[in-house]
Amino acid sequence: MKGYLWGAGSVLLVTAAQLLMKWGMVQIPSFSLSVIDVPFIISHLNALVAVFMGLCGYAFSMGCWFFALRYLPLNRAYTLLSLSYALVYIAAVTLPWFNESISLSKTLGGLLILSGVWVIHSKPAQKSH
């Protein structure tokens, strides 16, 4: 059970990280490194903080992932990561500030991912002899 909790933490953190980075990067106009100065940073502080928090989310996600690997077989743990694809899609099409389009093919793809994870994790892990 510990492994699944750590895995869920990793998935939720990486999902939040993706959403934060997407939101932040959309708020920042295209720029070159030469225009980054104090006024630029101050005028885009919320977006830059969101991107930074997304990067931190990835780092914490990796920490959770290390512990998930400690308790789960790799073939079960690794499939949990794909849940973030479906979660990011669901959030991107339902949260108004992302304004992403929903489509039948993307929704079916997300459902296939969720179904695959469910099938892999529905039977107890077989002990190797």
Predicted confidence at residue 36, as pLDDT, reads 82
Its domain, for residue 91, covers 2-28+41-122
Mean pLDDT score, 74-92: 92
In a domain, 14, yes or no: yes
In a domain, 96, yes or no: yes
Q: DSSP letters along 3-40, please?
A: HHHHHHHHHHHHHHHHHHHHHHHHHSPP--GGG-SHHH
In a domain, 53, yes or no: yes
pTM of the model: 0.83
Q: Give 30-63 pLDDT, tens digit per residue.
A: 877 777 889 888 988 999 999 999 999 999 999 9
In a domain, 36, yes or no: no
In a domain, 76, yes or no: yes
In a domain, 55, yes or no: yes
| Type of residue at 96 | P
In a domain, 127, yes or no: no
126 has a pLDDT exceeding 80: no
Mean pLDDT score, 69-87: 92
